[in-house]
Structures are given as C-alpha cells and as structure tokens.
Structure 1
Amino acid sequence: MDAHSYNAALTELRTVRDEIKKARAALTKLEADRDQRIAQLAAYSKAKAERIAPAAGLSVADIVTLAPALAPESLTTAETASPSSAPAVPAADDSPAQAVPKPAPRTGAAAPAMSGGQPSLAASPAPKNGAADPGPGRDRPAVQDARRELPSIPEGPAGDGWFTHTPKLVSQSPNFTQQARSTVFLDTDTSVLVHRQQTHHLDLGDASVAAILSTVFHVLPEGVERIYITAGDPWHRDADRYPYLRDAVAAWLNAPTPGWRTDTGRGRDRMAGHFVHARNPVGRYQRENGEDHVEIRSVGEWFDVDDADPATVRDAFVLLWQALRRHWSDAVIMGSPSQTGRDLWTRTIPQRGQHADGFPVLSEELRGLLHATAGQGRNELLTPPRVPDQLPQLVEYDRTFAYAKHTWKSPVGAPRRITAQTFASWTQKEQMRALYGCGHWQVRVTVPDAWDHVGILPAPAPGDRAWHYPAAPGDTFTTWAGGPEIHTALANPIQPWKIEILDGILWDDGKPLDDWAKKLKETWSNLTAQAHFQGDPQQARAAHLASRAVRSILLYGIGSFAQRPRMVTGTTPRTMERDVPPDAEIIGFDNELITWQKPTGFSRDPNAHPEWAAAIWSGARAALLTQRHRDDDTYAGALHTQPGAVVAFRTDALYLTAPQHWPHHHQPGDYLLKGHLTGPVTAPTTEEELLALRDAGRTALTQTGGQA
C-alpha cells in the first residue's frame, strides 16, 4: 500500500465511521419509539406482557422492566432462586439449566452447640430471612445485604414430605439393545466428507442446513442419521448480522429446508426439536414423508478438534467404540457424551443383589433444592490487592481426569432429614460420621478472625454470579455444602472454621457409579497409552482425541444426572405471533419466524440423580483446596500454598504465582503442570485476560519441553 492508497483508505474508513454513527442514532431513536409504544400499550386495562413481548421482539422480563404494571401476579408474589452459573457441564438431554422455585425459609428454636471439644462446630436453626446474624459487636460485612438467599426445607410435615422418592420412577437396567446410527464427518471449511472408509469432496454452497442435507444425501443416497461437523461452524456464517451468537445459530437451524421439517422424535428416542447453543448446537430434521431422520451436531461436544481432519476424527470415534466394547459388549456411541455416558451407566446397574430393583428417583422438591443449592466447578479469579499487581510467575496446574477421582462413593437409599436439633443430640462420633458420609448440609459459616488465605465454602453471590467464596476474616454467611467441603472447613491445614449445622439431608453410602467409572477410567488409561506409544502420528492423534472423549463421557454423564429443568425451543410464524406460548422468552426473530424458548420443569426422567452429581462436585471442589497423596505421604491443593499465591480457580485447575512440587503419577486427580509463564506478569483482572495468559503459558511450557 502506497501513501495515496493509505489516504484513500482513511477517507473510506471515516465514511464508515459516520455511517455507524448514523445507524446508532437511528437505532436509538427506534428503540425509544418502541419503548414509548410499549408504555402506551401498557395503559390499556387488558394489556398483557406475554402478548406485547413477541410484537416488540423482547422477552416478557424486558416488557415488565419497561412497564412494571404488566408484571404477572406470579412474578410479583413468588421469588425464584438463581441457577448455577457456567458451566461447563450440559444438562440431561442437552437441556440448559433454569431457575427453580424457592421454597419457604424455615424458622425454629436454637439448638445447643456440639460438645466434646470439636472445634467450631455447632447446630442451630436457620434465621427466618435466610441470612446470617453477625452477632453482637460485629459489623455486618458490606456484601451481606446484597447476597441472594438460598432455599430452605420447610418446617414440619410440609418439609418432611420432601424426603421420599417419586412414585414409579426408578433407574433400571435396560432390556433392549441400543441401535447404532449411520454417521458421517464433515468439514464445512474444506467441504470434505468422510463416511466409513470413503472420502468425498463436496460443493456445499452457502453451507446452510438445506445445502448440507441436499448435498450429503445426494452423495449418500442410502442416507445417514448423524452428521458431525468437525470444523467450519456453519451456524456462525451470518453471525455479524445478529447481536448474539445464539440468534445466528437459531436463524441457521430454522432456515427453510425444502423437503425437510423439524424432527418430532420416534420410538424410544425422545429427543426432538433443535437445541440452540452458541457453540455446539444440535439440529434435528426429518423428511416430510417421515422416512429419513438426521441430526446435525458439532463434534466439539466431545473434544477440541484443533487441526485434526475429518478422517482423524472418524478414527478417534472408531478407537473409542472399540475401547468401550472391551467393557460393554453392547456399547453404542450416541449423539452426545452425556447421552452415551448415561446409557453406559444404565448397563452397569446390577440385575442381582441389593440394587437389582434399580435406584429410585428423589422427590421433585428435593431435586429442585439440589439444583438450586449444589453448584458445579469452582470458578474464581482473585485480583489485586488479594494478589500482587505484578505476578512473579503464573503457573497452571490441572487435575487429571478429576471427576473420576470422586465416584467411588455416592448417596443411595431413602434420604433422611437431619434437623439442627437431631444433629445436636448426637455424640461427636455420630456427628463426624454423618459429615464424612453422603450428605448435603445447610450451614451458617464464620470465617476465622485471623484467616489470610482463600475461601473454602461457596456462598450465594450477588448479581448474576451464582457463587463466590468469602474469605474476609469474620465474614458470616448461610449456605449449603456437601460433606467433603464441610470437613475441609473444619479440618483444613491452616485453621478450623466455625460451622453451625442448620439442616441437612443424609443418605446411606453406596457405590452406584463405581463400576461405571472404573470401566471408563480403564478405557481412558488404555487410550492414553495408545496415544503415547503409537508410532503413526495420525493414529496417535486419534487415540488422544478418543481419550478426551472418554473424559467427556464421564464428565458430562455426571452432569446429566443433575437433570436440570428442561428448556424447549420452538418457532412460530410472524403471522401467528398470538400463538407464541405466554411463558416463552423471545430469543430471535426474522421477517418470517419468531424463535422462542420456554422452561417445562423437571421431566419424568428415570435416571435423574442430582444427589450423585452434587456429591462428586463437592468432592472435586474440596480437592482443589487439599488432597492427600497416600503413596507419597504428602498433600496438594490451594491451601498448601503461601497466602496470596492463588490467582484463580477454573473448575479443576489452579493458577498460582509459583511452581509446586506435587506428585503426578498419571492417575485421576493428580495435579499436572499445564502452563508456566515467567514473570513479571501483570495480574489478570478479567476472565479474558486469564485465558489469554493461560494459552501463553501452555505455549511457553511446550516450547521448553514441559508436561503440557
């Protein structure tokens, strides 16, 4: 580019700048006009937010914000508990998490403190408003008033009625053989399609759903049932036309597909309709004559492909299937890791012995309570002044196949309610046995006055964040936590915390996941060894991807047990917007269709066991803080570092300011050095900055011959 071209380009850039300013001004004017019209409509005595929302292209919540008088009665009189943030783990049947109604808080008389010299453990009822009383002479922490409240179990018979199982809903071993589906692998960037041992080069045109279906079925007239997109993300092709990726994805999934319509499900397969997800959506289609059914999915649900071509991805799935067949003679790879994991688990349910009748599903009330009070992985960024502005180093440790470490013991049997009074009446030995067992506890927590390290127990966070981890000396809060975290708070290597038991749920100890997890761990070990010793680079890469897929099967399989409330996505023609469900949220629209989603509550899922997921997540969060390595007679975890050394937690990873000498024997739960940046490093203050430093640290460690 010469000087003349440079100046001309600057002139064009200024023109674009001015057009953007004009467009923004026009948009602001249109939005103001829209809001004014909504206010005028709200003045009508029979106006309803659910009617105005689709006409305005907004959600019901947005309409209520602009016109509070339109708030439905149910919204003005009932509160909801905030759902857990992020994740990382998808819900059963690919359904995202939603909020659940919050039960009424409890009241009651105080119970005596625990005797016998156990440090800082007591039992007392929850305060009426669900918040902790800081006690006389102590100022309430400033954040206390902003904290949301977690639900409690109602007092008396109303709450006792929760402690049962859902009638006629039991996890049982299947009496049918799962059918495999014909699968192809398609790179929409290169237009390369791999089907079994054949490779085809296609002309996908605009890579729309219609183009993909017509081209694939032209090349393979016998048909396929599942199309994995390995690269290209065609659902993002028009992302610049939409304010959010989900809008672009919804538009791509719902674009006209001549000869096809949205699948409505068939036979044992209850999966129907599209799943709108910003990164890994699922499109389900069937011929208008009902003969062919096909899914379009992202292989990113299983693992990060990076630069692997479709043939390598195909080989990875073949190796995965072969490895699983060594443990399950009828193993079939289903559409997602969560579906596959749960199907494989059902095939480990014993047909004789103690649990031959299966595993009953908890009452919907207890499932709702666990959904609202049992968070997933710990994600926390510590910023200055809790860490230095300039870090001496940034070191990443990741727990290898972490959740597999915590599947050896899980809750079984009928749940029992342990009130504060009941807990206080027990001996110290009985209390500690209960806390070591499979339980979920409502507690009032006080951080020690001299505490100078990271927080231990999750607390309900203000705003949009679901959880945070108070660590300020003297801070007091009320929360729910699992036994592993309660034990860590009481017996950590620094200083015991004060814990008051307010209420609790206790199960018998069992091993419903042990056989399933052992088989997956052995499969993972075998594939990891293949990746290490395989001489063919493509097969080594395929084995590595297959081992990552096993990790996803266990990780997302555990998440599927949590069974969050289901979310249904649908479309309605613009000419029929009156038919948009009144409780639906508008998530996108164009000139022809309105795309919406609505929660449908908990389904009658026979494999819903949130108590198992909650126990594993609690154990994993506790192990981020302290974990014993028996063979090495040593400990690892955040609480075994110097104060101020922890920069961040991310699910099963720690980011520190100094390297640690923690053992790693390639076993589940071991801390693996994944990244190392030498300093000085400016402390990250946002997640984006942390992820950028993480990637740089991994690259730096690889270049120096490290473990990552």
Structure 2
Amino acid sequence: MDSKTYTEGLAELRGVRDEIKPRERQLAKLQAELDKLRAQRDEKVRALGAYQKAKSDRLATSAGLSVIDVVALVPSLGPQAPVSAPAESPVTGASAEDPPEAQKGVRPIKEAAGAPAPDLRPQSLEGDDRAAALTRPREAAADGAFDLDVLDEPAPATAAAPSPAPVAPAAVIPDGAQERTLPSIPEGVAGDRWIYAESNLASKRPNFKQATRQMAFLDTATGVLVWQGGTVTLDLGRASVAEILTAVYATVPADVERIYITAGDPWHQNAGRHQFLKDAVAEWLNGPLPEGWQVESSRGKDRQAGHLVHPRNPVGRWQRGKDQHSEIRSVGEWFDPAGADPATIRAAFVELWKALRRHWDDVVLMGSPSQTGRDLWSRTIPAKAGAKWADGYPVMSQEIRGLLHATAGQGRTELITPPRVPERVPGWYEADRTFAYAKHTWTSGVGVPQRVTAAAFAAMSEKEQADALFSPSHWQVRVTIPRDWDHVGLLPAPAPGERSWRYPYEGGRTFITWAGGAEVNLALRNPLQPWRIEILDGLVWEKGDPLKDWSNKLKDVWRSLRALGEVHGDEQQRQAARLASRAVRSILLYGIGTFAQRPRITTGSLELGAGGEVPEIPDGTRLTGLTDTHVTWERNIGFARDQYAHPEWAAVVWSAARAALLSGPTGTKDPETGKPARAGALHLPAGSILAFRTDAIYSSVRPDWPYSGEPGDYLLKGAMSWEQSTPTTDEEFYVLQALGRQALEAEEL
C-alpha cells in the first residue's frame, strides 16, 4: 500500500464514520422511546394486575409479554391464578372468537417426592408379570417405536441399579447466561383441568383440493429462467426484487405465481454491510418495487401474505393489482440443489409430483415442504363413517400444547470439546442416519392424555409401570447419573437460551427435566449401565398410528425415487430423481415439525420517514433490524386455534430419534444373535464421541455398522483416518465436516 492509497482509505473511512453517526443517534433515540414505552407498559400491567379478576394470560396477550414476565411484575397472578378451563367442564376450550393467547399456567419445577421407575431389564421381573410386561415392549421395539430392543441381552457386570448419589457440581454457565426453568403441571385439581381437548377443534380430512400454482425456476447468477413454456436467459442487472419481477413477468404469463431461486442468493448481495444475514435479507425484500407492484397484504384461506425474513430461505410475497400474485422463494427449502441447473431442478419437481401422485391422486405441491407434508397427511385421515377417528383427531388443550412446546426439544446438537476428549484425536468420522424420522412414525399418542402423577405411578404394579413407560408419553423426571459413568449424556436438560438443551454426563449428578418415553427407556436399559429415574409427573396417551399411513407412502415414494436415481438412462433424470428423493425427506421432516405448532411469530417492516425518522411500530413488537430505508420487527402472537396442532406427535418422533442416536437397531441382522445389529453413540468407545448434529454422530473412531439403505441406518458420510485437532468451535467443526466428506469421496473413487 502506498501513501496515496492510505490517504484515500482514510477518507473513505471518515465517510463510513459519518454514515454511522446519524444511524447511531436514530437507534439511541428509538431505544430511549422503547424504554419509556416498556416502563409505561409495566406500570399498566401492575395496575391492571391488582384487579381481583385479572388473569395473567389475558394480560400477557394484551401486553405482548410471556406469562412468566407478567407473573414477575405481578406475583399475585402466579400459580394460584385460575386456569382457563372451567372446573365443571374439563373439555371446554376457548371459543373460535377468542384471540390467540400466550402460553398459560407456567409453573417452575420444584423439588418433589418422586416414584422410582422400575428396572426394565429382564432380570428385574419374575414369572407372569415379567412375561406380560416384556411382551409389549418387545413388540414395540420390533416395529421401531423406541428402537431399544435390548431385552434379551445379558446385563453387564456393572449394571446394578445405582443408589442415590451426592449431587455433582453444576456445569459452568457463562457469565450473563441464565439457566432456563422448565414449566410443570400445577398440582391437584388445577393441573387436572389441563387435561382436556379443545372444543370444536379436531384434525379432519379436507373436502377440497388445493389450487395449483404455476412455477418458474431462476438462477440469478446466470439469469437462466425455466418454466413450463421453455428456457430463456434474462438480464437481471443486480437481481433486485424490482429487476427480477420486471424481467420474469416480461417473459412468463401472469399466472406463474412462484419463482424459485435455484442459485445466486440475491438476498445476500449486501450481506457485507450488515452484522446479521437477516438484516441483509430484510433490506433486499423491502427494496424498491416496479410501478404497480406492492407487498402482498391479504389472500384466500390457503394463501399467506407478507414476507418471511429468513436468513437463508426467505419468502417474499408481492401483488400487482388485485389478481396477480407472486412469491419469490429459495429452492433450498426443499433440498440442496448441489449445483444443478434450473432445468434439472424443474425436472426434480416434476418427478416428485409424479411419484407422489401414485399415492395421492389429488396431490398439489405447495410453496414449502412443510405445507405440502401437512396437506398430504390431512388426506390420510380416516374418512369412512364409523372408522375410529373419522370425526377427527382432537387437539390438546392450549396448556398441554404450551407445556410440550417448552419441554420437548428437537434434534440433539452438541459439540464435545477438551478436556472431555483429547485435544488431538486419531481420526474424524461422520455417520449420518438415513431418513431417520421416517423410522419413528409407526405409533403416536392419540386422544386426551392420562395424567400420571408420582403418587399414581408409585401405586401401579411393575407391569403397569412398564406399560406406561412403553406407551407414547412425556415425563417429568428426577435423574441421577451413576457415579462411574464415563460416556455421553443420555437425557436433555435445559440450558441458557430460549430453546437450548444440554446433556449432563457427570457421574453422580442429579437434575430434573422432561423427557419422552423413548429416552426414559434408553436411560433405564441402555447397553452400558442403567440410570436412576424418579417419576415426578407425566402424560400418557392411547397408542395409535395417525402418521403411519402417511409415512409409509412417503417412504415408498422415497425408495422409488432413489431407485430411479440409480437406474435411469439419462444423467439429468438421474440427478432429478435424487433431488426429488431429498425433497420427500424434507416433506416428512418439516411436515412433522408443523405438528409442533409453535407460538406464531409475525414479522413486518415499516419505511423510515424522509428525514430518517423511525415510524411508530405496533404494540408488543421487538425490533429486529434497521436499514437505510426500513425498520423491521417481529411479534409473538401466541398459539392459534390450529386444527393440525399435534405437538404430542412431533415430541414422540423427536424423542425416539434422539434415543436411537445413542442406541438402536439397524436394518441388518447380527449373525451371532439373529437380532438386528445395533448402532449408536453408546456402541462406540467412551471418549470417542466428538459431536452430535440431529441425525449424525461424529467420532474419532471409525464406526463399523452395516448399512442396508433403510430408514434409520447409519451411512458413513465423512472419514479422515489421520490425526486431527479436536474442534472447539462451530466454525472449526464445519471445516472438519467439509474436509471429512471430501476425503471420503476421494477415498471411494
């Protein structure tokens, strides 16, 4: 660098400084106004909370706060406040006219007497009780309910039930972080009132067909556009929203409503100017529009309006006049395009539709795999008069849905770092479960759950206890880890962060958490050493198979597309079939996620005034970004009356998948026992596990597990058989993940 360049650089730096200062002033002004408004809100909440009939959930909705926040401001509205369902009618829910409300009745877990869970290993029961109690678990495990078929394995010498141990020191929590407190069901009658189904709300088979939307596929890096009418190359300029809408609709008819971006990620073009990707996305979505276009404001019942500001797969929605609508979406919602051109990606969607149509003659590919998955599932609901659940699957009370939302996590994500593992390891191996969630959909809980308190559990026989633990269930438990435990943690516990979980592993440690029946089973009868589990409370559902038909059809479609991807004579069609099979995985994976029905988050943006003034934002919102032209916000509007809200189904699948990540059968028989060969983290040496990522295990030892290509089998996806530095950050982890996959690909050439 010479003196001239340095001087010019200083001038540019001063220019950036001058641009930052007014925005900092705007932000400070906005923050001061927000603080003032929040103080006014809190004061109003306290005043209204003094009213004799005040309810924390109603105040929370009106204030845009959580119930916990309201109770912190008005302690008298805590657990002793009445719940929403009236005592005389436990099946009465909110009416259809009631506004969505925030999560209700949250009470922190407190120390309570628990009922010890039985030893589920075969030697713990005798005679008829033993045979009866173990029959059902064996049948369940054979079909993949919990994938824990270890009943006939000899118990290890160290497998004696551990006695209560002193509590080990708590894991270190970073400064400024606060441990999350999980909710519990209120004691006595107040908690019993949670156990009901919402009135006039059930999942029923639709009596209409979804409207078909025409699609186009656009590579914004090359300008190549493919649609039903052909292929063209467009001049997109900088690929702004205005340039895309103008160029595309100068070429394709107005009835093309979805534009899938296959490459180019135009919403990231100004990412370098923003600290967070969402801010860059929001700036792109809110850019200038062509004349006559505006952000979509409303649509029909099966349509959505407004933008979805997602950092990598955003959705923009616009309209021109009253009749023309357009969405710009990322094909990454469906699958990683892996460099495929727009024509191949369109062919993948065609192959996907053709394969699904063999099972659903009314199939329509909707905007996202989650929407498509839920719509396809709804068309498998029994419709024949007199069939069980022909009147629909009931939706649980808002209280139970809120409890499951707070206490049932998804996939396990954990990076294990020194000193738990060596700073250098002899290798790096990635084993990923194929189409894992499809393995755990054969049974789910249906109907209104039965509450099983500690006292009720203690009063059961061992046979009844085992039957409850092998049913679709969700348990509040006190867990004690054996003193000499030296492997990974088995059960999730809350960690700092809104949806964060950790997996305690320290020998002798005791903690309280919620866990699904599959994980409780795993902890009680894992192949190494049983953990001590005390039941504090629980929900047990009737066994049913609401997802089985849907899942079996999707698995059949997935297998047929994988086979087509191997044998088709045309390379483009082979690639299209492979991409379509990945889309089927997304349909099932994200379809299950839609059942969880999280509190609805609405997003929006407002244009800054001519002088940069920040406009008034809606009540109860949280600022998420500030650009040169717009301020963006989001607001939690609570749980809606959604007829397809079944978090109990998602929770069972997620729990079973996490358990199988530790120990589960493969699709191949063990030649010595004749039973399914087992795989999972607990079948690798202690200290060899480096990370978990949802369905994948990363270890320093090469897993020797058979692979038959069936759902749930482990596929080796990365391998480096030489010494590596153990990753200590996510960035280092992803570097090794990429290098491991490249090394295995080179090894297999």
> What's the TM-score, normalizing by structure 2?
0.81
Task: Look up the equivalent residue of 2:653 and give its one-letter code.
Answer: I
Contact 2:164–2:480 (CA<8 Å) still a contact in 1? Answer: no
Paired position in structure 1 for 2:550: 516
Q: 2:197 aligns with which of 158, 165, 176?
A: 165
Identical-pair percentage: 53
2:256 alignment partner, SS class: coil
Q: Distance in 1 between matches of 2:377 and 2:185?
A: 31
2:618 alignment partner, SS class: coil
Paired position in structure 1 for 2:606: 572
> Cα deviation per residue 1:515-573 (whole Å; 9 max; x = unaligned)?
00000001000000111112221111111100000000000000111111111112234
Paired position in structure 1 for 2:90: none
> Cα deviation per residue 1:462-485 (whole Å; 9 max; x = unaligned)?
356710000011111110000110
> Cα deviation per residue 1:133-154 (whole Å; 9 max; x = unaligned)?
x989655435489532100011
How far 1:263 sits from its partner (Å)?
1.7
Q: 2:476 aligns with which of 429, 442, 447?
A: 442
Task: Look up the equivalent residue of 2:330 and give its one-letter code.
Answer: S
Q: 1:272 aligns with which of 293, 305, 312?
A: 305
> Cα deviation per residue 1:477-514 (whole Å; 9 max; x = unaligned)?
11000011000000011111010100001100110000
Q: 2:669 aligns with which of 631, 634, 640?
A: 631
Q: Distance in 1 between matches of 2:600 and 2:543?
A: 29
Contact 2:718–2:743 (CA<8 Å) still a contact in 1? Answer: yes
1:225 alignment partner, SS class: strand
Q: Distance in 1 between matches of 2:352 and 2:214?
A: 16
Paired position in structure 2 for 1:419: 453
Deviates more, 1:575-584 or 1:149-158: 575-584
Alignment of 1:197-596 (within 5 A): 197-257=229-289, 258-287=291-320, 289-352=321-384, 353-463=387-497, 466-575=500-609, 579-596=616-633
Task: Look up the equivalent residue of 2:201 and give its one-letter code.
Answer: L
Contact 1:120–1:490 (CA<8 Å) still a contact in 2? Answer: no
Deviates more, 1:99-108 or 1:643-652: 99-108
Segments of structure 2 that go 5 or more residues without pairing to the other structure are 44-67, 79-100, 126-162
Q: Distance in 2 between matches of 1:106 and 1:48?
A: 28
Residues 229 and 102 of structure 1: is their aligned pair in 2 closer, same or farther, counting only changes over 3 Å?
farther
Q: Distance in 2 between matches of 1:213 and 1:180?
A: 21
Contact 2:237–2:243 (CA<8 Å) still a contact in 1? Answer: yes
Deviates more, 1:14-23 or 1:174-183: 14-23
Q: Distance in 1 between matches of 2:38 and 2:686?
A: 61
Paired position in structure 1 for 2:635: 598
How far 1:394 sits from its partner (Å)?
0.5
Q: Distance in 1 between matches of 2:630 and 2:379?
A: 42
2:506 alignment partner, SS class: coil
How far 1:34 sits from its partner (Å)?
6.4
Q: Distance in 1 between matches of 2:404 and 2:733?
A: 31
Q: Distance in 1 between matches of 2:683 and 2:39?
A: 63
Alignment of 1:78-89 (within 5 A): none
1:12 counterpart = 2:41: no
Residues 40 and 657 of structure 1: is their aligned pair in 2 closer, same or farther, counting only changes over 3 Å?
closer
Alignment of 1:14-163 (within 5 A): 16=9, 20=13, 31=24, 76-77=73-74, 100=103, 103-105=106-108, 110=113, 113=116, 138=167, 140-143=169-172, 147-163=179-195
How far 1:47 sits from its partner (Å)?
6.2
2:723 alignment partner, SS class: strand
How far 1:213 sits from its partner (Å)?
1.2
Q: 1:192 aligns with which of 217, 224, 229?
A: 224
How far 1:44 sits from its partner (Å)?
11
Contact 1:396–1:653 (CA<8 Å) still a contact in 2? Answer: yes
Contact 2:454–2:536 (CA<8 Å) still a contact in 1? Answer: yes
Deviates more, 1:592-601 or 1:521-530: 592-601
Contact 2:445–2:541 (CA<8 Å) still a contact in 1? Answer: yes
Paired position in structure 2 for 1:95: none
Contact 1:217–1:223 (CA<8 Å) still a contact in 2? Answer: no
Q: Distance in 2 between matches of 1:553 and 1:608?
A: 17
2:507 alignment partner, SS class: coil
Residues 676 and 592 of structure 1: is their aligned pair in 2 closer, same or farther, counting only changes over 3 Å?
closer
- How many aligned positions are there? 650
Residues 349 and 13 of structure 1: is their aligned pair in 2 closer, same or farther, counting only changes over 3 Å?
farther
Contact 1:251–1:588 (CA<8 Å) still a contact in 2? Answer: no
Contact 2:219–2:261 (CA<8 Å) still a contact in 1? Answer: yes
Q: Distance in 1 between matches of 2:28 and 2:614?
A: 19
How far 1:27 sits from its partner (Å)?
5.2
Q: Distance in 2 between matches of 1:611 and 1:45?
A: 35
Contact 2:166–2:509 (CA<8 Å) still a contact in 1? Answer: no
1:178 counterpart = 2:210: yes
How far 1:243 sits from its partner (Å)?
2.3
Residues 26 and 239 of structure 1: is their aligned pair in 2 closer, same or farther, counting only changes over 3 Å?
closer
Paired position in structure 2 for 1:61: none
How far 1:218 sits from its partner (Å)?
1.1
Contact 2:438–2:711 (CA<8 Å) still a contact in 1? Answer: yes
Task: Look up the equivalent residue of 1:561 and give its one-letter code.
Answer: F
Paired position in structure 2 for 1:57: none
Contact 1:391–1:681 (CA<8 Å) still a contact in 2? Answer: yes
Contact 1:398–1:653 (CA<8 Å) still a contact in 2? Answer: yes
1:178 alignment partner, SS class: coil
Residues 232 and 138 of structure 1: is their aligned pair in 2 closer, same or farther, counting only changes over 3 Å?
closer
Contact 2:117–2:534 (CA<8 Å) still a contact in 1? Answer: no
How far 1:267 sits from its partner (Å)?
2.5
Q: Distance in 1 between matches of 2:635 and 2:396?
A: 24
Deviates more, 1:240-249 or 1:681-690: 240-249
Contact 2:259–2:327 (CA<8 Å) still a contact in 1? Answer: yes
Q: Distance in 1 between matches of 2:605 and 2:178?
A: 38
Contact 2:180–2:498 (CA<8 Å) still a contact in 1? Answer: no
How far 1:157 sits from its partner (Å)?
2.0
Residues 566 and 635 of structure 1: is their aligned pair in 2 closer, same or farther, counting only changes over 3 Å?
same
Contact 2:519–2:655 (CA<8 Å) still a contact in 1? Answer: yes
Residues 318 and 474 of structure 1: is their aligned pair in 2 closer, same or farther, counting only changes over 3 Å?
same
Segments of structure 1 that go 5 or more residues without pairing to the other structure are 1-6, 51-70, 81-97, 122-133
How far 1:451 sits from its partner (Å)?
0.1
Q: 1:652 aligns with which of 695, 698, 704?
A: 695
Task: Look up the equivalent residue of 2:654 and give its one-letter code.
Answer: W
1:701 counterpart = 2:749: no
> What's the TM-score, normalizing by structure 1?
0.85
Q: Distance in 2 between matches of 1:660 and 1:72?
A: 47
1:290 alignment partner, SS class: coil
Q: Distance in 2 between matches of 1:625 and 1:99?
A: 35
Q: Distance in 2 between matches of 1:580 and 1:41?
A: 10
How far 1:656 sits from its partner (Å)?
1.0
How far 1:628 sits from its partner (Å)?
2.1
> Cα deviation per residue 1:175-207 (whole Å; 9 max; x = unaligned)?
001121111001111111101150011111221
Deviates more, 1:616-625 or 1:591-600: 591-600
Residues 320 and 138 of structure 1: is their aligned pair in 2 closer, same or farther, counting only changes over 3 Å?
closer
1:212 alignment partner, SS class: helix
Residues 99 and 577 of structure 1: is their aligned pair in 2 closer, same or farther, counting only changes over 3 Å?
same
Q: What do you get for the CA RMSD once the two structures are aligned?
A: 3.2
Q: 1:671 aligns with which of 677, 696, 714?
A: 714
